Amino acid sequence: MNDETYFDYAAAAPPFPEALRRLDEVSLQSYANPSSTHGRGKNAREALDRAREAFLARLGFHDGRLILTSGATEANNLVLREAMERHPSGRLLLSADAHPSTWFANDLYGKRVDILRTDSAGRIRPEQLEQQITRKTVLVSLLHGNNETGVIQDVKALGAVCAHRKIPLHVDGVQVIGHLPVTLSELPFASYTFSAHKFGGPRGVGGVLAREVPGGAQIQGGGQEQGVRGGTENLAGLAASVVALDLSCRSLETEVPRLRRLARTLIADLRSSIPDVLVNSDPDAGLPGLVSVSFPTLIGEEIVLEMDVRGYEISAGSACGSGKREPSRPLLAMGRSRVQALGTVRISMGRFTTAESVGGLAAALRQVVEKQKALA
């Protein structure tokens, strides 16, 4: 397996070997249950507290706490369900480009959910947010960086609107943590969620960075995480995530401009060789190294499979639902047509991506698109 031909970092980043070594080390040394009252248990508790503090410090989050979960999906569920259950007649204002791990609320609470509109560039304008908040709104939920288009929301400005209206803001920050420099204490949110495997940490580690501890638990029994999330804490996973976060954040100064350069090169290459390509992402203002492109009349999944046979791993944006292929919701929200959205692929780069591998990917993608157009 060649790591340079992996272009699906937004789905899962390759883990840092240093993080996995730490995972091993802590698993072997601090195996005791942090809830146990004996010496080893106390040591594990101390190690957990240290890891928690280190994680928060790395993100510049000094005025809140970390509630550990198994990943961002669970973390998002915890926040949204807790709010909706605490306010049975309250309404959720959910961004149109939400990830499925928060969009579930639209299916579950249907009539109590309002959809927060994005503009043609995929951004939520503060005045739009202001306009859509009602007296019944109990929570606003949005993505910091969109996993499909790479669009980054101005959380500071949007958070200010929420603060002014005294509505808690939930931010799904999965694609941002470890990929962009952030100081969370400067951002006005109530809760912010993450997953460690997106920045080179182990799978099964995520959490809610919260200014207030949520009132109810979704997983009960055990009383861990201040009663909010039952279950023995994943100490080794958190310790490994601290290492991965540290390595990611330390490389941002060089990695962010490098990945932006690679994204610009790729887009220029595709535009010159495939004139009808539609570019959905902004290489300079979006998530670094995330490129979303649409090839109208083609099918994203078919491109993905052809690219896989040629040795390049990318991903598509559509999914199957209700007996037909559903195009990407964030792209539809940006005003793309169904035909355009169905032919969308996402290319996401990371630390092993090189200029050579981007050149190879562009050439392979051109061949695949030419072939599929000829066969269509």
Partner 1 sequence: MDSQSVGFLSREKTLVSPPPERVEEAYRGLSPQGTLTIQCRATEVSALLGAAERAGFRGMRVDRSEGLKILAHKTGPQGAGYSGPAAAALDDESRLLLGGADPTPPGRDPFLSDAKRLVAWLGLSAGTKNRVVVFYPGPFRMLILKDGSMVRRGQPVRLPAEQAAELEKAEGAWVNPKIWSAATDPRNFGALYRERGAICLLESDRPADLDGVDEAPEAMKRRLSTVIERGEDFFVLTGSDPRQKDGCCPSNEVGEANALVQAGILSSSVESGTSDCPATIYAFAAEIRRVGDKPSFVRNDPLRAAVKERILRGPRMSRKLLVRLALMAIAGAALAVLTVTLFRQLRGR
165: enclosing H helix or E strand? helix 155-165
Q: Could you say whether residue 197 binds partner 1 (CB under 8 A)? A: no
Length of the chain, please? Answer: 376
CB-wise, 148 or 255, nearer to partner 1?
A: 148
Interacting span for partner 1 (CB under 8 A) from 209-217, 235-243, 271-279, 308-316: 308-316
Contacts of 19 (CB under 8 A, 6+ apart): 200, 201, 202, 240, 241, 243, 244, 247
Task: Give me 289's structure tokens.
Answer: 């190294």
Q: CB of residue 337 vs partner 1: minimum separation in angstroms?
A: 19
Interacting span for partner 1 (CB under 8 A) from 13-21, 35-43, 62-70, 303-311: 303-311
Across 173-217, the runs of DSSP E, i.e. the strands, are 191-195, 206-210
Q: Which of 17, 100, 181, 257 binds partner 1 (CB under 8 A)?
A: 100
Number of residues that bind partner 1 (CB under 8 A): 29
Q: Are 206 and 75 in contact (CB under 8 A)?
A: yes
Q: Could you say whether residue 325 binds partner 1 (CB under 8 A)? A: yes
Strands 315-316 vs 344-348: parallel, antiparallel or unpaired = antiparallel
Q: Which of 153, 193, 224, 315 binds partner 1 (CB under 8 A)?
A: 315
Task: Give me 362's structure tokens.
Answer: 């562009």
Q: Which of 317, 327, 343, 350 binds partner 1 (CB under 8 A)?
A: 317
Q: Which residues pair with 192 in a beta bridge?
A: 171, 209
One character per residue 1-40, x = contact with partner 1 (rule: CB under 8 A)? ---------xx-----------------------------
CB-wise, 128 or 372, nearer to partner 1?
A: 372
Strands 344-348 vs 113-116: parallel, antiparallel or unpaired = unpaired
Q: Could you say whether residue 306 binds partner 1 (CB under 8 A)? A: yes
CA–CA separation, 278 and 40 (whole Å): 58
Q: Are 103 and 94 in contact (CB under 8 A)?
A: yes
Q: Could you say whether residue 308 binds partner 1 (CB under 8 A)? A: yes
Q: CB of residue 106 vs partner 1: minimum separation in angstroms?
A: 16
Give the position of tokens 């579950």: 108
Task: Give me 261's structure tokens.
Answer: 């350069």
User: Up-side HSE of residue 285: CA atoms within 13 Å toward CB?
Assistant: 10
CB-wise, 195 or 248, nearer to partner 1?
A: 195
Q: Could you say whether residue 286 binds partner 1 (CB under 8 A)? A: no
Q: CB of residue 271 vs partner 1: minimum separation in angstroms?
A: 23
Q: Could you say whether residue 147 binds partner 1 (CB under 8 A)? A: yes
Q: Could you say whether residue 118 binds partner 1 (CB under 8 A)? A: no
Cα dihedral 362, 363, 364, 368 sign: positive
Q: CB of residue 148 vs partner 1: minimum separation in angstroms?
A: 5
Q: Could you say whether residue 229 binds partner 1 (CB under 8 A)? A: no
Burial call 128-166: b when 16+ CB within 10 Å, e when fewer:
bbeeebeeebbbbbbbbbbbbbbbbbebeebbebbeeee
Give the position of tokens 């249950």: 33
Q: CB of residue 313 vs partner 1: minimum separation in angstroms?
A: 11
CB-wise, 71 or 207, nearer to partner 1?
A: 71
Q: Could you say whether residue 301 binds partner 1 (CB under 8 A)? A: yes
Contacts of 366 (CB under 8 A, 6+ apart): 270, 273, 274
Q: Could you say whether residue 171 binds partner 1 (CB under 8 A)? A: no
Interacting span for partner 1 (CB under 8 A) from 126-134, 238-246, 306-314, 333-341: 306-314
Q: Could you say whether residue 311 binds partner 1 (CB under 8 A)? A: yes
CA–CA separation, 111 and 95 (whole Å): 15
Work out the angle between the directed axes of helices 72-86 and 100-108 (0-180°, nearest 10). 30
Q: Could you say whether residue 107 binds partner 1 (CB under 8 A)? A: no
Q: Could you say whether residue 320 binds partner 1 (CB under 8 A)? A: yes
Contact footprint for partner 1 (CB under 8 A): 10-11, 99-100, 147-148, 299, 301-302, 304-306, 308-309, 311, 315-317, 319-320, 323-325, 328, 346, 371-372, 374-375
